[in-house]
Amino acid sequence: MREVHEQYRQREESLAVACQSPESMTGYVQEVRRCYLDILGEMPEKTPLQVQVTDVEHQPGFRMEKIVFQSMPVRYVTASLYLSEGKGKHAVTVSLCGHGLHGKRPGATPVLLARNGIATLVIDPIGQGERWQFINEKGEYATRGATTEHTLLNAGCVAVGTSRAALQCWDNHRAIDYLVSRADMDADRIGVWGNSGGGTETTYLIGMDEWVKAAAICSYFSQRERTLELQGPSDGCQHIPREGAEPNVVSAIAFPAGGVSGPSVGRGTAGHPAKSEFTFIRCSGAYATL
pLDDT, tens digit, 9 for 90 and up, residues 191-221: 999 988 888 899 889 888 889 998 888 876 6
State the helix-helix crossing angle for 224-231 and 2-18, rounded to 10 degrees. Answer: 160
Give the neighbor-by-neighbor strand order of the sheet with 75-83: 52-59, 62-72, 75-83, 118-123, 90-96, 185-195, 214-218, 260-264
What is 188-204 written as a DSSP string? EEEEEEEETHHHHHHHH
Under DSSP, is residue 271 helix (H, G, I), strand (E, B) or coil? coil
Predicted pLDDT of residue 246: 63
Q: How many whole angstroms separate alpha carbon 77 and alpha carbon 270?
A: 26
Instruction: Extract the residue ranges of the chain whose pLDDT is less than 70.
Output: 220-223, 233, 244-278
Q: How many residues does this entry show for the chain?
A: 290
Predicted pLDDT of residue 229: 77
Predicted pLDDT of residue 70: 98
Helix residue ranges per DSSP H, 19-130: 22-40, 108-115
Q: Residues 41-54, buried b or exposed e (16+ Cβ, 10 A)? A: bebeeeeebeeeee
Predicted pLDDT of residue 256: 54
Q: How many whole angstroms separate alpha carbon 31 and alpha carbon 33?
A: 5
Residues 6+ apart with CB under 8 A from 290: 22, 25, 26, 29
Under DSSP, is residue 141 helix (H, G, I), strand (E, B) or coil? strand
Under DSSP, is residue 30 helix (H, G, I), strand (E, B) or coil? helix
Predicted pLDDT of residue 268: 46
Q: How many whole angstroms separate alpha carbon 236 and alpha carbon 151?
A: 4
Predicted pLDDT of residue 220: 66
Predicted pLDDT of residue 62: 95
Q: Is the dihedral of CA 38, 41, 44, 46 positive or negative?
A: negative
Predicted pLDDT of residue 248: 54
Q: pTM of the prediction? A: 0.88
